[in-house]
Amino acid sequence: MIDITLPDGSVRQYEAGVTSLDIAQSISAGLARNVLSARVNGIIIDANRPIEEDASVELLTWNDQGGKETFWHSTAHLMAEALEELYPGVKLGIGPAVENGFYYDVDTGDDRTISSEDLPRIEEKMLELARRKVEYIRRPVSKSEAVTYFTEKEDPYKLELLDRLEDGSITFYTQGNFTDLCRGPHIGNSGAIKAVKLMKVAGAYWLGDEKRKQLTRIYGISFPKAKELKEYLDLLEEAKKRDHRKLGQELELFMFSEKVGAGLPMWLPKGTQLRERLINYLKDRQENAGYQQVTTPHIGKKDLYVTSGHWEKYGADSFQPIKTPREGEEFMLKPMNCPHHCEMYKFRPRSYRELPLRLAEFGTVYRYEQTGELHGLSRVRGFTQDDAHIFCMPDQVKGEFLAVVDIVKEVLGMIGFDDVTAQISLRDPATPEKYIGSEKNWASAEQAIIDACAEIDMKTVTAYGEAAFYGPKLDFMVRDALGRQWQLGTVQVDYNLPDRFELEYIGADNQPHRPVMIHRAPFGSLERFTSILIEHTGGKFPLWLTPEQLTILPISEKFNDYSREVLAELARHDIRGSVDDRNETIGRKIRDTELKRIPFMLIVGEKEVENGQVAVRVQGEGDRGAMTVEEFVEFFRTQL
């Protein structure tokens, strides 16, 4: 018998060889019908794979992201099978699940193409295959057998992937007439896939290498119920209306220029006002919490990032080093602020009496993203992090961590995000090579986060494989007005960088000790945060953040001077706005102001001038009647 520990902490005994599906069946038949895969000791596996020893088991359904990813990965295999039937001789690359759906990279050959017009035909074939309700069958194979199979199939991309795999770690998955090189997991059978929509066709370089052949990437999404697909497509239509790239241009918040460079945003005056208000709000909050503001350069010597480990992990895919006239001297555009802050800590000897030391910086960093991955403000090559690094003693970690969580919760609440989940992001046990540092340091850091999270008043989930390369973290996942989930703020516990930079403090025992480093960024990056904020609000920002809070609309030019006097008086009350003195009808001015999502319109005509008033209209609500300037100021304050 083996012990199976469930997420609620309960322990059940089963015979060795029990499957997650068996466990689900022992709980309820309904649960068993809905299980798609299972997380066993932190690793997601097929629900029908035997469990031979004591394990922690989490049963994954469509309501879990891990369950969705299993479902979507299985649909990617279904699409590959359909493509092989429709396009004989097609060569397959990779086909993973992504955040919303899946894709498969394929090589159709030099004489064939797949366009968006072909997608309905592929969808129809996929659903035909799904209705056969064939099982997804896992089979371990030797490397030589796998090489023989894909050699005979003339599939060069799979053979290249096999070169990187060790014998004894290779598995095939087969459904129907299709077999793929895959480590899984997959759903039980294709009959669960009831609705499919292929979204778009794009180009993608093989393995993301711009020097390799460009393949055809087909994106899609699938659902266990047809009505869920319809709801998703309706959501996409609403999302198009809220697209931050579209609204950012309409509201004159930011722009891009090909001459400046792709992925390098430029903030226009109104966008800069919004950005500065976000910065100033957090600066005030940080100052009250004992943070000290610092400034570091936009570049650093390559050796700095070799020491930190960033060069080893990301150097090949980052902006390449900048050479100086001096032989052998190389600098890099700053990809991270933390190495600079480590050097600041080393500026002079530190005593335990100085700790915790909290250094904060709105620091702009630069990372090279593939052109095809760039997306408005949400995926850029230059962005500003609301970064801070706390250097503290081990017994201070928990208190500092919880204080950071309080700041993040306050910031997200103030902005209007009230559905927040804290994701405990830990190592992937199956890929230890992705991380730097000792097992001891990792164990200490992960336990520190787990212990602290036991005391926070938030929903929490655990995600394996989502840790940073140098330490585990707590990511704050917010759900926007359309129900989409985004990762925003983060707090990370790091025992590794203090080791790599040989940071020390003199303890009460007069001996040197290693500090612990906490990384935190409530917004994450100002660019990505703003993109999510625009789409969450549809461009109707909280009043305190809105760049232009009102527009004064004179009915004719003879009321322009009075309008400017009103604007000047409102400015003395810290109310921001402008006068629309265009030679247009008042109806046109009102329509244009509504489209700009400006919260208040103050209309000025002869009657208003005579009575020292303004006629007030509220965005989306209509007339509120005439008010004096003083009355409007009081009304405005009630809306903050």
Active site residue 379: no
Catalytic annotation, pick one of 138, 310, 350, 519? 519
**389 labeled part of a ligand binding site:** yes
Q: Smallest Cα–Cα separation from 465: which of 437, 493, 424?
A: 424
Q: Smallest Cα–Cα separation from 10: which of 25, 35, 27, 28?
A: 27
Q: Smallest Cα–Cα separation from 187: which of 175, 198, 200, 196?
A: 175
Active site residue 392: no
Residue 32 CB contacts under 8 Å (≥ 6 apart), including other chains: 21, 24, 25
Q: Name the DSSP letter for residue 15.
A: -
Catalytic annotation, pick one of 341, 367, 597, 617? 367
In a 10 Å sphere around its CB, with 0-12 CB exposed, 13-18 middle and 19+ buried, how is residue 427 labelled?
buried
CB 338 within 8 A of CB 389: yes
Q: At what angle do helices 560-571 and 629-639 cross, to 10 degrees?
A: 50
Active site residue 536: no
Catalytic annotation, pick one of 473, 536, 589, 617? 473
Active site residue 573: no
Token pair in block for residue 253 = 């918040």
User: How far is the CA of 475 from the CAs of 170, 416, 417, in angstroms?
Assistant: 33, 18, 14
Active site residue 519: yes
**519 labeled part of a ligand binding site:** yes
In a 10 Å sphere around its CB, with 0-12 CB exposed, 13-18 middle and 19+ buried, how is residue 549 labelled?
buried
Radius of gyration, CA atoms only, the chain = 29
Residue 507 CB contacts under 8 Å (≥ 6 apart), including other chains: 352, 393, 513
In a 10 Å sphere around its CB, with 0-12 CB exposed, 13-18 middle and 19+ buried, how is residue 495 labelled?
buried
Measured CA to CA, the distance from residue 612 to residue 629 in angstroms comes to: 8
Residue 340 CB contacts under 8 Å (≥ 6 apart), including other chains: 296, 297, 300, 304, 334, 363
Peptide bond into 120 cis (omega under 30): no
What is the arrangement of strands in the sheet containing 137-140, beginning at the earlier edge strand? 137-140, 171-175, 178-181
Measured CA to CA, the distance from residue 509 to residue 243 in angstroms comes to: 57
- Helix%, strand%, coil% for the chain, nearest 5: 40, 30, 35
Measured CA to CA, the distance from residue 29 to residue 27 in angstroms comes to: 7
Catalytic annotation, pick one of 338, 342, 392, 453? 338
Active site residue 323: no
User: How far is the CA of 227 from the CAs of 78, 187, 332, 389, in angstroms?
Assistant: 21, 20, 50, 47
The partner residues of 616 in beta bridges, in order of sequence, read 602, 625
**338 labeled part of a ligand binding site:** yes
In a 10 Å sphere around its CB, with 0-12 CB exposed, 13-18 middle and 19+ buried, how is residue 315 labelled?
middle
Give the DSSP H/E element, type plus range, for residue 280: helix 269-288
Catalytic annotation, pick one of 389, 513, 520, 597? 389
As a whole number of angstroms, the longest Cα–Cα distance in the chain is 93
Measured CA to CA, the distance from residue 447 to residue 354 in angstroms comes to: 25
In the block, residue with structure tokens 């959501």: 235
Active site residue 453: no
Catalytic annotation, pick one of 286, 385, 492, 613? 385
Q: Name the DSSP letter for residue 176.
A: T
Token pair in block for residue 33 = 């019908």
> Which residues are identified as catalytic?
338, 367, 385, 387, 389, 473, 519
Binding-site residues for Zn(2+), in ranges, read: 338, 389, 519
Annotated binding site: 338, 389, 519
